[in-house]
Amino acid sequence: PFRTMPGIYELLCGKINVSRLRNVDIADLLRRQPARTNEALLGASLKGKRVLVTGAGGSIGSELCRQIARWQPEELVLLGHGENSIFEALIELRENYPSLTLTPVIADIRHAERLARIFADYRPQVIFHTAAHKHVPLMEASANIEEAITNNVLGTQRLVQAALDADVERLVMISTDKAVKPSNVYGATKRLAEMLVLTAASQNTRAFTVVRFGNVLGSRGSIIPRFKRQIALGGPVTVTHPDMERFFMTIPEAVHLVLQASAMGQGGETFVLNMGE
């Protein structure tokens, strides 16, 4: 076990004594100040709106729902494929926001008719699209390539079409820095999904935008929990390559970026957080 010390200036000023050691927090790995958002802009874009989040049970999707709930939307629809993760997200939100109208929907975004019915029933005005298969090595396996394409590409295409048909005001798709000159199946499927969203924005003059993430610290399936498991087992800690570069952001930063993009986006933009070194 190890702990992190307070800063030397805090010690010298007498604010903190040496006994105030604490566990290392995942945000300590950022080596920069966390990014913040324009809260007034967010309130105007979400308050009183009917909001739908795909992949709402995932680490990004569920945090997105927590943040959206703070802005008092008219209704928040949690759409996901995994019933257990949607159930857990729903229970937490109901405890913290008892007066908020929350609607859990178990559905696969590849099913166009099901999406059409959901959109007709709940008439969302703002959509956050986080649903995707994202594990690079798993999606690289020949047995899973079809699944990656149908979920990430076809699913996005059907969601975008449903949004156009239902006259949705805003759509933000979560993408990845791996979509830049993609060298793997996952990156390629996300690049295609980006193109579908941006094309729909330009052809239909809609406020549909894309947000690209780096590595999100502590998200499900990300590298840091894997490193922690490897260390707990006594090693070795495996890296892709000694020269591999990763750009990190925290889950709250990632979600703030998405919300900011939804408020700022006029349509057709790709937003990227400045993640430092």
Is 178 one of the annotated active-site residues of the chain?
yes
Burial category of 271 from C-beta neighbours within 10 Å (exposed 0-12, middle 13-18, buried 19 and up): middle
Please answer whether residues 175 and 184 qualify as being in contact, where contact means their C-beta atoms are separated by less than 8 angstroms.
no
Alpha carbon distance 80, 70 (integer Å) = 21
Closest-CA residue to 195 (of 214, 208, 177): 208
Per the listing, tokens 């809260």 go with: 39
HEC assignment per residue over 238-256: CCCCCCCCCCEEEHHHHHH
Sequence-ordered list of residues with C-beta below 8 angstroms from that of 214, at least 6 positions apart, any chain: 177, 246, 247, 248, 249, 273, 275
Exactly one of 47, 178, 181, 228 is catalytic; which is it? 178
Catalytic residues: 178
